[in-house]
Amino acid sequence: SQKIEQNSEALNIQEGKTATLTCNYTNYSPAYLQWYRQDPGRGPVFLLLIRENEKEKRKERLKVTFDTTLKQSLFHITASQPADSATYLCALGGGTASKLTFGTGTRLQVTL
């Protein structure tokens, strides 16, 4: 069955450093991959989308890579700030169903 894995343990980093979050998947050939941010008590907020034929996508301090050979996406936040503290979810989609399948998310904590 399809499986999406994100680090279940929280990632703690210091302000100003680059945070790197990982999304691995198996038994899936997604046409695209999306990253969302979720704050406590709120719904997920869309951040970035990358397609299977794209290697890298950037938006301000965010960068996403997508390696379909490794079946992995990396999500980077450069110059991280305490306001970046949240849970980050990856979601995969593609095919005729056009549905997103979400990972469990990784909690990022940025400290001063």
Partner 1 sequence: SAVISQKPSRDICQRGTSLTIQCQVDSQVTMMFWYRQQPGQSLTLIATANQGSEATYESGFVIDKFPISRPNLTFSTLTVSNMSPEDSSIYLCSVREGGTGNQPQHFGDGTRLSIL
34 binds partner 1 (CB under 8 A): yes
For 88, counting Cβ atoms within 10 Å of its Cβ (0-12 exposed, 13-18 middle, 19+ buried), the class is buried
Using CB under 8 A as the criterion, what x/- string covers residues 42-81 for binding partner 1? xxxxx--x-x------------------------------
- Torsion region of 105: left, alpha or beta (phi above 0 gives left; psi -120 to 50 gives alpha): left
Among 10, 26, 29, 31, binds partner 1 (CB under 8 A): 31
For 69, counting Cβ atoms within 10 Å of its Cβ (0-12 exposed, 13-18 middle, 19+ buried), the class is exposed
Nearer to partner 1, 28 or 102 (CB): 102
32 binds partner 1 (CB under 8 A): yes
| C-alpha to C-alpha distance for 76 and 64, rounded to whole angstroms | 6
| Interface positions with partner 1 (CB under 8 A) | 4, 31-32, 34, 41-46, 49, 51, 89, 93-95, 97-105
